[in-house]
Amino acid sequence: MENFDVIIVGGGPAGLSAAISAAHAGMKTLVIERGDYPGTKNVMGGILYTKATDMVVPEFWKEAPLERPIIEQRIAMLSGDESILAGYRDPDWAAEPYNAHSILRVKFDRWLAQQAEKAGVMIITETLVEDLLYKNGNVVGVRTGRAEGDLGAKVVIIAEGVNNFLAVKAGLAKSLKPATVAVTVKEIISLPKEKIEDRFCLDEGQGATIELYGDSTAGMMGVGFIYTNKDSISIGVGAILESVVREHWTPNDLLENLKAKPYVKRLLQGGETKEYLAHLIPEGGYTHVPRLHRQGVMVVGDTAMLMNSLNREGSNLAMVSGKIAGEVAAQAIKAGDVSDQAMAVYESRLRDSFVLKDLHHYRHMGKFFEDNPHLLKIYPKMFSKAAKMYLTADGTPKKQRQKEIIQMLFEQRSKGGFIKDLYGAWRALL
Ligand code: FAD
């Protein structure tokens, strides 16, 4: 049986970041990826955050296959054919050190895998890890689907993504439930770059994002998104699986519903669908973060439920958790102690970082929206109606119009209901 210091299961952002940091610390490191190459199986909106990526590959923007630096982030609240818009544009984000870029995972993951190989990591593809190997109850390697496929390791890092089969088998995580994952579909639609820049009011090469709420998910907890790539647009929508099933939607119908909205249709006009992708997003939040370590093993990225959906951050949490796990593995191996206590340094470093701090901060959010399904159904309609009433110049004096708007709002939701919703939102989000 061949032996390694560190074996990482999964060649996504979490696994490859773990591999790079372990290899930099001198570890004999192996990544096992079930896809033909890293990236083939992976889906993301996708916005890649500069700070976290820079921690793994310094100044990555000089050579990574990036689409566009994001200089504007918009929010659209859809109600029927109407939309309310808000946004923030910052031209500084068009230059170093940047804030975020749009990417296509097929290209980016492949490039990140090359960086791992440059750092000395060995990558085996088209290989499924079926189980962990144990000796006296301790993790000592992995079992792959290949003939003579047992491989030894002092530390195994599980970076298998949202489908957490190995983490469940190892007794570290619970199986996914329809209430703790969002089902997401995405299309990549090709468009000439000049058209993209024209439609999104961008200078050459710049990018924008739009997150769409309300009717974009038929009022279910979730979000639609539109991101500009070099010569294509990524459009997608995701909602909690439980509600999608309960409300008899199919993910494809949700996407078609979004694409048909007047505000969206205009942006996509003339485009041609190049790719159609579907994936799950872990949405359990802080209370569903699994056990993160045991003797000789750590869990990172989506497998560890490290996703901050409100801020559309997942790749950065994956990369930071991977980097820390790789460093902790190396430190423990050098010290000759891969006990549970040694692996616990990973968890305490995650707790000190934005990763678990942010998840902890939003720990009530999922339950708040779950307990108040009316929020995403009635508020977009109310705000849209209020905006229409206020902005329609029909000769009604403004003071009278304001009174009518307030009356309309209280017809839809009682004063007590407003206070309850506001208090709940304050607790969940602030
Ligand atoms: P993954 O990227 O899923 O990688 C896991 C890897 O493990 C895969 O390559 C898989 O093939 C491999 N694997 C799994 N099981 C095995 C096995 N048993 N043996 C061998 N290999 C295995 N995040 C953002 O930051 N910005 C965004 O805009 C954004 N948009 C998103 C949009 C969508 C539609 C989705 C689905 C997610 C989005 N995310 C976004 C979240 C982000 O994609 C994830 O948080 C991130 O990819 C997690 O990385 P990971 O390495 O943990 O998992």
Encode pLDDT of 93-112 as tens digits.
999 999 999 999 999 999 99
Both 333 and 240 in a single domain?
Answer: no
Residue from 97, 72, 42, 102 nearest 230 by CA: 102
Range of the domain at 414: 366-429
Check if 70 has its Cβ closer than 6 Å to any atom of ligand 1. no
pLDDT at 382: 94
Q: Copy the structure tokens of residue 200.
A: 């999104």
Residue from 18, 57, 55 nearest 325 by CA: 18
Residue from 264, 266, 276 nearest 212 by CA: 264
Both 190 and 272 in a single domain?
Answer: yes
CA of 317 to the centre of ligand 1 (A): 11
Check if 222 has its Cβ closer than 6 Å to any atom of ligand 1. no
- For the chain, the C-alpha Rg in angstroms (whole number) is 23
Greater confidence, 376 or 210? 210
Q: Copy the structure tokens of residue 385.
A: 């109606």
Q: Is the whole model's pTM more than 0.80, yes or no?
A: yes
Report the atom number in ligand 1 closest to the C-alpha of 315.
25
Mean pLDDT within 167-178: 96
Both 317 and 346 in a single domain?
Answer: yes
pLDDT at 373: 85
Determine the Cα–Cα distance for residues 32 and 119; give it in Å rounded to an integer: 16
Determine the Cα–Cα distance for residues 283 and 317; give it in Å rounded to an integer: 13
CB 101 within 8 A of CB 207: yes
Residue 265 has pLDDT above 90, yes or no: yes
Check if 305 has its Cβ closer than 6 Å to any atom of ligand 1. no
Check if 278 has its Cβ closer than 6 Å to any atom of ligand 1. no
Element (H, E) at 340: helix 340-352
Both 119 and 11 in a single domain?
Answer: yes
Residue 430 has pLDDT above 90, yes or no: no
Taking 3-state DSSP, the helix, strand and coil percentages for the chain, each rounded to the nearest 5, stand at: 40, 25, 30
CA of 340 to the centre of ligand 1 (A): 26
Residues near 152 by beta carbon (within 8 Å), at least 6 away in sequence? 1, 2, 3, 4, 133, 140, 141
Site to probe by mutation for ligand 1, drawn from 17, 32, 34 as the one with most ligand atoms within 8 Å of Cβ, is 34
Both 233 and 155 in a single domain?
Answer: no
For the chain, what is the domain count?
3
For residue 358, is it within any domain? no
CA of 62 to the centre of ligand 1 (A): 24
Both 220 and 276 in a single domain?
Answer: yes
pLDDT tens per residue across span 195-244: 999 999 999 999 999 999 999 999 999 999 999 999 999 999 999 999 99
Residue from 223, 112, 119, 224 nearest 159 by CA: 112
Site to probe by mutation for ligand 1, drawn from 40, 160, 252, 298 as the one with most ligand atoms within 8 Å of Cβ, is 160
Determine the Cα–Cα distance for residues 112 and 116; give it in Å rounded to an integer: 6
For residue 86, is it within any domain? no
pLDDT at 308: 96
Both 22 and 125 in a single domain?
Answer: yes
- Is the previous residue joined to 97 through a cis bond, with omega within 30 degrees of 0? yes
Residue 163 has pLDDT above 90, yes or no: yes
CA of 301 to the centre of ligand 1 (A): 8
3-class DSSP state of 100: strand
CB 324 within 8 A of CB 198: no
Check if 179 has its Cβ closer than 6 Å to any atom of ligand 1. no
Both 163 and 194 in a single domain?
Answer: no
Q: How confident is the model at residue 44 (pLDDT cuts 50, 70, 90)?
A: confident
For the packed helices 398-412 and 375-391, what is the interaxial angle rounded to 10 degrees? Answer: 170
298, β-bridge pairs: 157, 293
Both 218 and 327 in a single domain?
Answer: no
Site to probe by mutation for ligand 1, drawn from 7, 21, 36, 44 as the one with most ligand atoms within 8 Å of Cβ, is 44
Residue with tokens 């109310």: 382
Q: How confident is the model at residue 370 (pLDDT cuts 50, 70, 90)?
A: confident
Ligand 1, atom 46: closest residue by C-alpha: 315
Both 271 and 297 in a single domain?
Answer: no
Check if 210 has its Cβ closer than 6 Å to any atom of ligand 1. no
Determine the Cα–Cα distance for residues 384 and 402; give it in Å rounded to an integer: 14
pLDDT at 40: 82
- Taking every pair of Cα atoms in the chain, the longest distance, rounded to a whole number of angstroms, is 84
CA of 239 to the centre of ligand 1 (A): 17
Q: How confident is the model at residue 169 (pLDDT cuts 50, 70, 90)?
A: very high
Residue from 104, 315, 109 nearest 229 by CA: 104
For residue 87, is it within any domain? no
CATH number of the domain to which 232 belongs = 3.30.9.10
Burial class (CB in 10 A: 0-12, 13-18, 19+), 151: buried
For residue 224, is it within any domain? yes
Residues near 319 by beta carbon (within 8 Å), at least 6 away in sequence? 13, 14, 17, 52, 53, 55, 56
Mean pLDDT within 395-419: 95
Greater confidence, 257 or 147? 257
Both 224 and 345 in a single domain?
Answer: no
35, 39, 43, 49: CA torsion to nearest 10: 150
CATH number of the domain to which 107 belongs = 3.50.50.60
Report the atom number in ligand 1 closest to the C-alpha of 317.
45
Check if 307 has its Cβ closer than 6 Å to any atom of ligand 1. yes
Report the atom number in ligand 1 closest to the C-alpha of 32.
20
54, 60, 66, 69: CA torsion to nearest 10: 60
CA of 424 to the centre of ligand 1 (A): 31
pLDDT at 1: 86
- Is the previous residue joined to 161 through a cis bond, with omega within 30 degrees of 0? no
Determine the Cα–Cα distance for residues 276 and 264; give it in Å rounded to an integer: 17
Residue 45 has pLDDT above 80, yes or no: no
Q: What do you get for the CA distance between the two ends of the chain, in Å?
A: 52
Percent of the chain's residues with pLDDT above 70: 100
Determine the Cα–Cα distance for residues 255 and 148; give it in Å rounded to an integer: 44
pLDDT at 323: 98
pLDDT at 152: 97
> Mean pLDDT over all residues of the chain?
95
CA of 15 to the centre of ligand 1 (A): 10
pLDDT tens per residue across span 114-160: 999 999 999 999 999 999 999 988 999 999 988 889 999 999 999 99
Both 331 and 346 in a single domain?
Answer: yes
Check if 30 has its Cβ closer than 6 Å to any atom of ligand 1. no
pLDDT at 193: 97
Residue 41 has pLDDT above 80, yes or no: no
Determine the Cα–Cα distance for residues 369 and 385; give it in Å rounded to an integer: 22
pLDDT at 207: 98
